[in-house]
Structure formats: structure tokens, C-alpha cells
């Protein structure tokens, strides 16, 4: 005990005047062991789950209150414009598909003997004069092409009698207003290659399209640009190709005889 007090006094003398003794020395007994145990660190417990729940609720409320974005519908695709129909013919919208309907078929005064054909008649139907009275070389070339193409060539019109041709011309004059305008579509009985059996009008796009690309090897050519269904025999086309087409029959020198 005496040694402890003397030691304590020596320590206190070293403390400068005006300073207080360190709290750790006041009332400290040097004989008491110093506890080295760590004080438990108090942490403030944060309620994690309630906080997360509050955040989720807040986000949900914000999302619900946000204004909905209206989806803008795609603009409608504009419809393709209807093909322009050149003036002067009622069936130009069927260009390169089917020849126009021949109204002479409805006249009972003219029948199959004048060159009328029923719908669906083909180049193989020799029972009809419109087919059987075609030029034999033209008919043979058409049949060979039909076989090679694997396409049934339907005939809309082939050979015609002069009376049938005259009737068609009269109808064309009534439709177009003058003989000059009608001449772009219908020839006279004296000049028409149909009356002579040298022309055929095919029905159906497949046949006309195939012949447009392959007909020259058989000597079969489209003669008039305004009548892509009209084919005639040009034997020289087998070696030299088809000649340049006339715009319409009025440009064909044969029509001015």
C-alpha cells in the first residue's frame, strides 16, 4: 500500500498545474487488474424488411399514377393505284391476259360455221372451223408449242368468215365512233389475217406469256403491241427472232391494201 501511494504521488507531480488527472487514474487502484474484455458494440438494428416493403409500395404507387402512353397505330398501307386504262378499248385492263369478248357470238345469225368458238376451245379442237380452217403451218406450230410448254392453248378466236369479220367491224365503229378509230382494233374482211386463217387470238395469260418468251423458236410472233394475245406465223423468226411489233393494226402495211 505504501509503495502504491508513493508511486501515485510521483505520477501526480508530473501533471502540470491546471490539468486534471486523467479519468483513468482517478480512483484507480494499481492493484486492480485492468479488464481487457471488449465492450459489446451496440448497433442500431435497422428493420430491413419493413423498409423494403415501403420502397416497393412507393414504386408501385408511382407506376400506377404515371399516365399511360397510347400506342400509335401504324399508318395504313396505301392501296395500289388501279392500272391506267388506255382509251379506245373496253378491255385494256386485261392487257396481256385475255382478248376482249367478241360480241358477235351472241348473234344467232352467225354460228360455229362462221368461226364462233365456245369457251374452253383449244388449239386441238379440229371440230370447230375456227381451228380447222387455220393455216396448217400455224396450227401445227401452235400445237407443238403447247405440247412443249405443257400448257393447254385455249383459242378465243381463229379463222373467221367475212360476214363475222364485218359484224365485228360494225360493232367497233358503233363503239369507237368512227371507222378510223375502229381500225385500231378490227380490220376489214379484205385485210384481216383472221379471215385468211393466218392469225389466232389466245386466251389466258400463261399461254401468251410463255409464247412471248419462247414463241420465236416456233415462228410464232406477237404482231401488234396493243393486242398481245394475237399471234401469227413468221417462219424467219426461228433464226432471226420476231420482227418489231406494230403499235396497232393501222401501222401494218397489210391493212392499207
- For the stretch 44-56, pLDDT in tens is 444 555 556 665 5
Per-residue pLDDT, 57:
64
pLDDT digits (tens, 9 = 90+) for 63-121: 544 444 344 444 444 343 333 333 333 333 333 445 555 544 444 567 999 999 999 99
3-state SS class at 184: coil
Q: What is the mean pLDDT of residues 121-150?
A: 97
Query: In this predicted structure, what is the pLDDT of residue 27?
Result: 46
Whether the per-residue pLDDT at 31 is higher than 50: the answer is: no
- Contact in structure between 139 and 219 (CB atoms under 8 Å): no
Q: What is the mean pLDDT of the chain?
A: 76
pLDDT at position 110 is 74
Q: Which residues pair with 246 in a beta bridge?
A: 224
CATH 3.60.15.10 is the classification of domain 99-256: no
Mean pLDDT of 210-221: 98
Instruction: Please report the pLDDT score of residue 9 as a whole number.
Output: 65
Comparing C-alpha atoms, which of 205, 216, 189, 184 is closest to residue 99?
205
Taking 90 as the threshold, does the pLDDT of residue 29 lie above it?
no
Q: Averaged over 183-211, what is the pLDDT?
A: 97
CA 58, 64, 65, 70 torsion-angle sign: positive
Question: So where are the chain's domains?
Answer: 99-256
What's the angle, vertex CA 201, arms to CA 195 and CA 205, rounded to 5? 180
Intra-chain end-to-end CA distance of the chain, in Å: 159
pLDDT at 250 over 80: yes
Distance in angstroms (rounded) separating the CA atoms of residues 226 and 248: 6
Least confident segment among 68-77, 161-170, 173-182, 234-243: 68-77
pLDDT at 257: 79
- Evaluate if residue 206 carries a pLDDT over 50: yes
Percent above pLDDT 70 for the chain: 58
Percent of the chain predicted with pLDDT > 90: 56
d(CA 107, CA 109): 5
58 pLDDT tier (thresholds 50, 70, 90): low
Residue 199, strand partner residues: 232
Amino acid at each position: 500500500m505504501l509503495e502504491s501511494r508513493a508511486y501515485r504521488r510521483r505520477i501526480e507531480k508530473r501533471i502540470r498545474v491546471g490539468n486534471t488527472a486523467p479519468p483513468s487514474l482517478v480512483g484507480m487502484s494499481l492493484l486492480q487488474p485492468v479488464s481487457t474484455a471488449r465492450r459489446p458494440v451496440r448497433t442500431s438494428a435497422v428493420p430491413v424488411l419493413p423498409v423494403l416493403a415501403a420502397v416497393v409500395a412507393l414504386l408501385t404507387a408511382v407506376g400506377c399514377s404515371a399516365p399511360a402512353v397510347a400506342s400509335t397505330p401504324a399508318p395504313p398501307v396505301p392501296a395500289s393505284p388501279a392500272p391506267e386504262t388506255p382509251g379506245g378499248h373496253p378491255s385494256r385492263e386485261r392487257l396481256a391476259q385475255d382478248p376482249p369478248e367478241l360480241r358477235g357470238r351472241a348473234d344467232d345469225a352467225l354460228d360455229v360455221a362462221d368461226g364462233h368458238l365456245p369457251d374452253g376451245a383449244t388449239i386441238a379442237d379440229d371440230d370447230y372451223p375456227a381451228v380447222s380452217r387455220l393455216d396448217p403451218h400455224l396450227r401445227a406450230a401452235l400445237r407443238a408449242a403447247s405440247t412443249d410448254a405443257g400448257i393447254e392453248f385455249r383459242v378465243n378466236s381463229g379463222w373467221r368468215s367475212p360476214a363475222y369479220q364485218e359484224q365485228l367491224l360494225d360493232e367497233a365503229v358503233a363503239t369507237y365512233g368512227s371507222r378510223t378509230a375502229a381500225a385500231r382494233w378490227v380490220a376489214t374482211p379484205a385485210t384481216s389475217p383472221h379471215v385468211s386463217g393466218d392469225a389466232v387470238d389466245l386466251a389466258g395469260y400463261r399461254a401468251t406469256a410463255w409464247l412471248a418468251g419462247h414463241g420465236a423458236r416456233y415462228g410464232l410472233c406477237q404482231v401488234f403491241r396493243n393486242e398481245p394475245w394475237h399471234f401469227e406465223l413468221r417462219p424467219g423468226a426461228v433464226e432471226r427472232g420476231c420482227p418489231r411489233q406494230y403499235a396497232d393494226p393501222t401501222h401494218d402495211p397489210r391493212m392499207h391494201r
